[in-house]
Amino acid sequence: MKHLPLFFDLTGRKVVVVGEGPSADRRADLARSAGAQVTRPLADVAEAADFRGAVAAFIATGTLEGDTMAQRIAKIAGVPVNVADRPALCDFILPAIVDRDGVVVAISTGGASPTLASVLRGRIEASLPDRIGALATLARTFRAQVNALIADPGRRRGFWRRLAEGPAARLTLAGDEAGARRVALGELDAARRRMSPVGIAHIVGAGPGDPDLLTLRAAQLLQEADAILHDELVPPAILGRARRDAELVAVGKRAGWKESGQAGWAQADIEAELVRRVRAGQTVVRLKAGDPFIFGRGGEEVDALRAAGLPVTVVPGITAALGVAASVGIPLTHRRFASAVTIVTGHGADGRAATWPALAAQGHTLAIYMGATEAASVRDRLLDAGTPPDTPVAIVENGTRPDERVSAGRLSDLARLAAAHTRGDAGPSLIIVGEVAAYAADAKHPQLAEVS
């Protein structure tokens, strides 16, 4: 390692910046942001007196002669120097910096490639949660109490790791700072009394199926979870993003399972399992296809956890109507054809076909979840409501996934189109009704489209 990375407290200390222009201005602003008292000599050439009492100097005159002269004067005064774009003249180098409200990451290539350092900074910025600084603030709030109440160094380290990775951290990153403080206080008390702290549940949307459509937070939580309770419809490609030693528990069910005698988890059993695991101290991800609050019963699970007094967060996912429509090239709204879109389900809460008003009117798009097996009923209800029989429709099975299949046609022929998507091994399907559905004929798998 050529350069030792250090974080230097510049609060109230003198820093000299020699030069004019953007490079010098950036260095002056950076030093001020760290609390330094910045001095910028007015003369074209800095003098020894300019460096008296300084702890560091930045030089960016723009010429080799000016940089070299200022560097020599600073060295004579015993002040460490950074010279812009001239590594050979530097006592220290300026790294690429990520600053998230007090959490600072510095990236250096030893002066070999500032561009590479900037590229790495961008990647780190994308991976760090925006509220990571609030988590550091939470830790600072509890530092004195932890040091006073937990004498054993190993247990103290365990507490800090849990604060950084556990329920309090996730509540902080989700913006619930009051809830995070309550959880941290409970964990501090439990650690003091050598009790097992409670865990946390995250109700997470897995999106329509393509693992690259997971949100950053969802991907992070899959790597942190002790257990993942997942829907049957969550594909293996997404489960493969989980931490290697995470426990995977399939708690889903599909339409028709009850009639065929296949076992499935009742909703009350899923809620009870979430409560049990969180009380046991686990970090649990409840992974749902699409978005947990769009026909995902996520609200019921949040209610159950809150009623038990347990911490819970919700991470939205790309719901099928948005992800699937985009995958096959269907704009749900379009300036010429549709000014509104409605998301409905082909089944009501009791399993019967839903009763719809005349939603598929001109200028309106319908996205129908879980409707393929009820295609004949869907067709009849829409026709009875006055929807023209030649209204375009599209059925998309396994949308966004490698085995995506599309059938396109007219409302009058919806039942026949749906037959290919209701076989025993069929994947999840979405029905889109409205003028915009005609765009499916030009989607990325036109050879699979059946246009009447």
Structure tokens at 14: 């003198």
CA–CA distance, 345 with 428 (Å, rounded to integer):
13
Q: Which residues are CB-neighbours of 428 under 8 A, at least 6 positions away?
A: 209, 233, 289, 320, 370, 397, 398, 399
CA–CA distance, 4 with 21 (Å, rounded to integer):
29
Long-range contacts of 135-140 (CB under 8 A, 24+ apart): 135/103, 135/164, 135/169, 135/172, 135/173, 136/101, 136/102, 136/103, 137/101, 137/102, 138/163, 138/168, 138/172, 138/177, 138/180, 138/181, 138/184, 139/163, 139/164
Q: For position 94, what pLDDT does the model report?
A: 87
φ, ψ at 55 (rounded to 5°): -100, -15
Tens of pLDDT, residues 3-42: 888 888 999 999 999 998 999 999 999 999 999 999 999 7
Mean pLDDT of the region 316-322: 95
Q: For position 360, what pLDDT does the model report?
A: 59
Q: For position 452, what pLDDT does the model report?
A: 37
Give the best-scoring range by mean pLDDT among 55-69, 250-264, 412-426. 55-69
Mean pLDDT of the region 181-206: 85
Tens of pLDDT, residues 331-356: 999 988 898 998 988 764 344 444 55
CA–CA distance, 154 with 161 (Å, rounded to integer):
11
**Weakest mean pLDDT among 417-421, 431-435, 442-446:** 442-446
Which CATH number is correct for 14-94, 3.30.160.620, 3.40.50.720, 3.40.50.880, 3.50.50.60?
Answer: 3.40.50.720
Give Cα separations from 237 to 180, 212, 274 (angstroms): 32, 10, 24
Tens of pLDDT, residues 100-122: 888 899 998 877 888 898 899 89
Mean pLDDT, the chain, rounded, equals 87
CA–CA distance, 92 with 82 (Å, rounded to integer):
6
Q: Provide the CATH number for the domain formed by 198-318 in this structure.
A: 3.40.1010.10
Q: Provide the CATH number for the domain formed by 321-448 in this structure.
A: 3.30.950.10
CA–CA distance, 87 with 94 (Å, rounded to integer):
10
pTM of the predicted structure, to 2 decimals: 0.65
Q: Which residues are catalytic?
A: 231, 253
Q: For position 109, what pLDDT does the model report?
A: 85
